[in-house]
Structure 1
Amino acid sequence: MSSPESRPPSLVPPAVPSSRAGESFRAKSIATRITEAEFTEIEAAASAEGKKVSEWLREVALAKCRAQQSGGTDPVLLAELMAMRNLLVNLFSSASKGPLTDESIRKMTAYADSIKLQKAEEFLASRKEGKTGKI
């Protein structure tokens, strides 16, 4: 007769712990039909981001829903507006000190283009945190 300590380990994996409060699990599926060309396009987009098609589709669909709920600011448009804002402020500031040269305008434009994405990201981050004010 063998003792309980000498039994071989069980091949059955331990039971999965019950779900914790607040955790949610994906239990719903959505099916759709697409053309072969559409599938190729979607598969390429997912692959470019190193994701499975289902994962990529879920993220894109949720991002679209969440953007619509939050008012959906277009980051490219916002970046261009930030560049225009910067350029106008610098142009007026420089013009108030005297005539502008073509070279000074080119430098101001290049500077505005170089910081536009950073300023747009800062603006969106501050808006997300609920902060308002100067950027």
Structure 2
Amino acid sequence: MSRPRIPQSLAEREFEARLTPSNQAKTLATRLPRAEMLAVEEAAQAAGQTCSQWLREAAVAHLKRPVRSRKAMPDPTLLTELMGLRQLTVNLFAAVAGSSISPDQVRDIVRQADHVKEGKADEILRRLHDATEGK
């Protein structure tokens, strides 16, 4: 004759639940429109995987991507040089409007562009920073 099983108390169940590993597999389900499901099936088949395997790998790969802020900040050095080129272009066009330009004038325009580019880049970066911080 078998011994009757005595139910565990709630406290014992909670204690055992804390001892079990928290990395147990979980199931995630989603609904997809027909077109998206067909695309997933085609991608999984092309990869030689089941839909479940393919979706799991896609989800994990998505989690490993670097997090991007809403507004990515431009590289300060590139922005500085871009502002310098912008200033240079504007001034060269203004200088050659209807006349020729000497090499000395070109050098002066380049010096002036180099002088203002960092300030303009700093101003843009400050505005972008303020906009992303919600100021």
Return the TM-score normalized by structure 2. Answer: 0.44
With a CA cutoff of 8 Å and minimum separation of 6, indicate the structure with the bigger relative contact order. 2
Greater gyration radius: 2
Larger relative helix fraction: 2
